Amino acid sequence: MAPNQGARQTSDAGVLLSAEDLSRVISRIAHEIVEKTSGFDSVVLMGIHKRGYPLAKRIADRINQIDNQKVSVGALDITLHRDDLRMRPPRPLEQTDLPVAGIDGSLVVLVDDVLYSGRTIRAGLDALSELGRPAAVQLAVLIDRGHRELPIRADYVGKNVPTSTGQSVKVRLIETDGVDEVVLSVAGKA
Amino acid sequence: MKHLLSTHDLSKENALNILDTARMLSDVSDRTIRKLPTLRGRTVVNLFYEDSTRTRISFEAAAKRLSADVINFSAKGSSVSKGESLKDTALTLKAMGADAIVMRHHASGAAHILANSGWIDATVVNAGDGLHEHPTQALLDAYTIRHHLRANEGDLSGVRVAIVGDILHSRVARSNIWLLNTLGAHVTVVAPPTLLPVAVNSLPVEVSYDLDSVLGKVDAVMMLRIQHERMHDAYFPSIREYASRYGLDKGRVQLLPQGSIVMHPGPMNRGIEISAEVADGENSVIVEQVSNGVNVRMAVLYLLLGGAIEGEEKQ
Amino acid sequence: MSSIVLRGVRPLNADPVDLVIESGVIKDLVKVGAGQGEVIDCTDLIALPGLVDLHTHLREPGREDAETVASGSAAAALGGFTCVFAMPNTSPVADTAGVVEQILRLGVQAGLVDVQPIGAVTVDQKGETLAELGAMADSAAAVRIFSDDGHCVSDPLLMRRALEYVKAFDGIIAQHAQDPKLTVGSQMHEGDVSARLGLRGWPAVAEESIIARDCLLAEHVDSRYHALHITTAGSVEIIRSAKAKGLKVTAEVTPHHLLLTDELATTYDPVFKVNPPLRTQADVDALRLGLADGTIDLVGTDHAPHTAEHKQCEWDSAAFGMLGLETALSVVVLTMVNTGLMTWAQLADRMSFAPARIGNAKNHGRPIAAGEPANLTIVDPKVIWQITPDQIASKSKNTPFLEIDLPCKVIHTLLRGEFTVKNSKVNK
């Protein structure tokens, strides 16, 4: 495709979630998690780099406010487990951090910003299995945009957004991007 | 980065990237399951023209932890000993579909030739070429220094390192001099004048002939293996005299400032360049260098093979 | 009798003339347009005396896969040479009358240049016992230059005897100055670059100490001495002071040492591996000045063909040597004439008169004048060209001058009035 035809230009066509919405959605997910995990002694939110990790921290903060129940947070880098490594130059690695107690026997909630093909979550499950043996694994995402390529579904969804494959969903967080918002871009490739 | 041939042409950015990646990967080595699927389907050939069990198994462990297929091709017991040329060996490995060739060779520049000849399109990792360079050794040394003295962060600005021994014939020394300099460390080479290059002043190092005067002023001291045959070429009069002037023993190690580390690339001549007490002593990080070696080599393999190799992109 | 007229040619870059050749001899130099005979237009071309190379390796007998007397002769003619001296490090070594006569005969058969054999100083070039120098001198090849080139006559006593012995027939010893003990395993010039590359160093002093010793020996026994391929500023100084003392000492430099430096070893491409090694820019500068002021008498190519398998390999395992015949003139023009260091007349001296005089090559290195043998090289100084492997006439392709813009192209070469090269093609 010839450059400068607008194909790669993104336009922030629609704001899906404002900062306010985002905070509300996080709060709702936190409530749902509290509800659905009441039977577990230990809950670990494992945020997938890069934006899943700050999301996990925010959700955990919220849970600990609601319930005074201590959930712990970890960070998961799934790069080394990706199935599309050969399509791009080598990616930098991020730190994988586990709670001191590890994840054995815990309920692990994987947290990511956007659920799309499901391949990231597949890699996340593989990465997790090398770190220990959780009692169960659940999945929380801010946006589910459809187009799954693997049999994976989320247990907690902030917002379902029907999209076309030509669109892209951009999650921006204060921690990583300086602003809280989720936008739908047209014909963009993030 | 397509190849790793020398530290002389390794940028600071790439060097730090390797060290940072190695730090991330060091967690893997601490886990029960020390295996990642990252290089599944990649073939790494260890092409060794010189015996070096240590380096070969380190690369082998690194490649296997990343799930690469590893083929060991040693000069002994292969057609190399019947005099096959490097070119023909390279063409054979190409035909076998090698993605990376990790080569140890007795000729300086052999890895450079292999990478630039056009004989192969595989990635080349120099695992030691003649008297030239041994870049992964320098990287693991830098990793070890950074781990101990800089908490695994940033560069090595302000770190003072002494490299002691046969600088003239040492590829480890050469690679360390360039890399440490790139990372901002201050390097002093210590050796009898016969074991320094005539043009040592063209290297970014301070030069000393007197070990005792240097030890009080360094944060890390790196002892090099001395080879007995050098004595016969009149580089020094006797092993005994060398050991007494340039060996690191219990008495000398007291001269080091608090917190300094003692390193050796191995294999050691205990009792010659380093005494047993020092090698096993509290300042010694020699065993740690070995485990860091695996992490650094994993990082190198990941960064060279873990993404699209040139020509593979945009599938 | 048919005549050839080289119309409008400029002898040694002087004013144009018609140069008339008849029966292999320069008949006359006349006004442009006045020459009678078969006219060859040579407008804007320069006439030089046929070039003489005192230092060529033709590899035959023994390594005919790398070069033969015939292929080397073609390369020489294309490079503008009418006479080459063949070094004796063949297999067998040219250390007897039989071998030197064989090489002479092969040269006559090839018929493109006069091939003058050089005899070995010692049996099999082993540096142990003198070869039969007198027998080679008395042979049909009439050898006058003796050399163990490739090896140094390092034994001082043997060197002294050789220098003395050849006085009986006005011979000269051409030394490959390389102290063997100081160069065990050496791969390149010892300096900054070798320190970086981890290639074993070849100190300048390994050459200079031998030349200094030889000059003292030559003085002591009052003999002629020729230092082959000197490469260092120090060697130039030693030769300069020896000449100042009036010693019968001469010296040679190769084209590649006038242009290339040890930095090229950073490619690890063995095409740049040569003995003696490429040195530093300071050495190159000193060699150029030495050649310009006559301290260095002549340019010798040290044309050293090697097959691909001896060059497409690791530096340590590769053979020493590079091609030179086809590019020598261009490199000397590039480094000496175009830089203003030498005139065309001086170039003619360094590449024809001096080598012919020192090697006692009768009928070569003669002035361009009526009555002289018509050994001529006609060149176009305006052409810029690059050498490519497929145009190299040598059987080997190990030229270090690929991708360099070379000035000056040989258009015609005439040996005794016959075109050996016509329009830059071998004429046979």
**Paired tokens of C345:** 């007349």
Tell me, what's the pLDDT at A187?
Answer: 60
Find out whether C394 and C326 touch, Cβ atoms under 8 Å. yes
Written as one letter, the residue type at C354 is: A
- Amino acid A14: pLDDT: 86
Hey, which residues does B31 pair with through a beta bridge? none
Predicted confidence (pLDDT) at residue B253 exceeds the cutoff of 90: yes
Domain coordinates in residue numbering, chain A: 22-165
- Please tell me the distance from the alpha carbon of residue A97 to that of residue C205, in angstroms, as a whole number: 61
**pLDDT confidence of residue B229:** 75
Could C268 and B113 be called an inter-chain contact, meaning their C-beta atoms sit closer than 8 Å?
Answer: yes
Decide if C312 touches B, using CB distance below 8 A: yes
Residue in the block written with tokens 């296997």: B64
Q: In chain B, which residues have their Cβ closer than 8 Å to the Cβ of C315? A: 107-109, 113
Between residues C106 and B234, the one the model is more confident about: C106
Mean pLDDT calculated for residue range A110-116: 96
Give the model confidence (pLDDT) of C339-368 as tens digits: 999 999 999 999 999 999 999 998 999 999
Tell me the average pLDDT across C80-109: 97
pLDDT: is C428 or C178 the higher one? C178
Task: Say if the Cβ atoms of B35 and A131 lie within 8 Å.
Answer: no
Distance from C-alpha of C129 to C-alpha of B213, rounded to nearest angstrom: 53
Q: CB-CB: which of A80, A86, A130 is closest to B33? A: A130
**SS3 for C179?**
coil
Per-residue confidence (pLDDT) for residue C320, from 0 to 100 = 97
Assign residue C8 a region: left if phi > 0, alpha if psi is -120 to 50, beta otherwise? left
**Cβ within 8 Å, pair C201-B197:** yes
Mean pLDDT of chain A: 88
For the domain covering C50-84+113-359, report its CATH number. 3.20.20.140
What average pLDDT does the segment C18-39 reach? Answer: 96
Confidence (pLDDT) at C258: 98
pLDDT digits (tens, 9 = 90+) for C208-220: 999 999 999 999 9
How do residues B265-313 score in pLDDT, each as one tens digit?
999 999 999 999 999 999 999 999 999 999 999 999 999 999 886 655 5
The pLDDT value given to residue A2: 41
- The pLDDT-based confidence of A12 (bands split at 50, 70, 90) is low
Average pLDDT, chain B: 92
- pLDDT over 90 percentage in chain B: 83
pLDDT at A6: 39
Q: How far apart are CA B287 and CA B276, in angstroms?
A: 13
End-to-end CA distance of chain C: 22
Given this chain, do its domains B12-134+291-305 and B135-288 carry the same CATH topology?
A: yes
Question: Which of C195, C268, C317 is facing B203, going by the closest CB pair?
Answer: C195
Domain ranges within chain B, ordered by starting residue: 12-134+291-305, 135-288
- Nearest to residue C306, comparing CAs of C268, C260, C264, C275? C275
CATH code: domain A22-165 is 3.40.50.2020
Which chain B positions have a beta carbon within 8 Å of C267's beta carbon? 112, 116
Under an 8 A CB cutoff, do C314 and B197 touch?
no
Q: Determine which helix (DSSP H) or strand (DSSP E) holds C34, and give its type and residue range.
A: none
pLDDT of residue A7: 41
pLDDT value, residue B311: 57
Q: Average the pLDDT over each of A68-77, B147-156, B261-270, C370-379 and give the range with the smallest value.
A: A68-77
pLDDT in tens, A20-61: 999 999 999 999 999 998 888 899 999 999 999 999 999 999
| Structure confidence at residue C90 as a pLDDT band (50, 70, 90) | very high
> What's chain C's Rg over C-alpha atoms?
21
Give the mean model confidence (pLDDT) for residues C38-64.
97
pLDDT of residue A23: 95
pLDDT tens for each residue of B215-233 = 999 999 999 999 877 777 8
- Residue B315: pLDDT band (50, 70, 90) is very low
Does residue C205 belong to the interface with chain B, where contact is any CB pair within 8 Å? no
Residue C320 near residue C151, CB atoms below 8 Å: no
What residues in B contact A81, CB-CB < 8 Å? 36-38
Across the interface, whether the CB atoms of B31 and A130 are under 8 A apart is answered yes
CATH number for the region B135-288 comes to 3.40.50.1370
Q: Quick one: pLDDT at residue C1?
A: 56
C and A make contact (3+ CB pairs below 8 Å): no
From the candidates C15, C302, C316, C405, give the one annotated as an active-site residue.
C302
CA atoms of C286 and C295, how far apart (whole Å) = 10
Count CB-CB contacts under 10 A for residue C24: 14
Q: What pairing do the DSSP bridges indicate for beta strands A107-115 and A72-76?
A: unpaired
- Pick from A67-81, B7-21, C145-159, C394-408: least confident: A67-81
- Report the chain B residue with the minimal C-alpha distance to residue C185: B107
C23 vs C2: CA distance, rounded Å: 8
User: What is the assigned CATH class of domain B12-134+291-305?
Assistant: alpha beta
Q: What is the mean pLDDT of chain C?
A: 97
The pLDDT assigned to B314 comes to 44
Instruction: Give residue ranges of B with CB < 8 Å to any C CB.
Output: 8, 85-87, 105-110, 112-113, 116-117, 129-133, 171, 174, 197-200, 202-203
Q: What is the mean pLDDT of residues C46-65?
A: 97
Give the per-residue pLDDT at C303.
98
Interface check C149 vs B, CB under 8 A:
no
Among residues B309, B284, B303, B295, the alpha carbon closest in space to that of B62 is found at B295
* Inter-chain touch B31–A94, beta carbons under 8 Å: no
Q: Does C302 participate in catalysis according to the annotation?
A: yes
Residue A110 has pLDDT above 90, yes or no: yes
Q: Which two tokens stand for residue C58?
A: 């033709």
Q: Measured at the alpha carbon of residue C89, what is the angle toward residues C84 and C93, in degrees to the nearest 5?
A: 115
Q: What is the pLDDT of residue A67?
A: 77
CB contact under 8 A, C316 and B107: yes
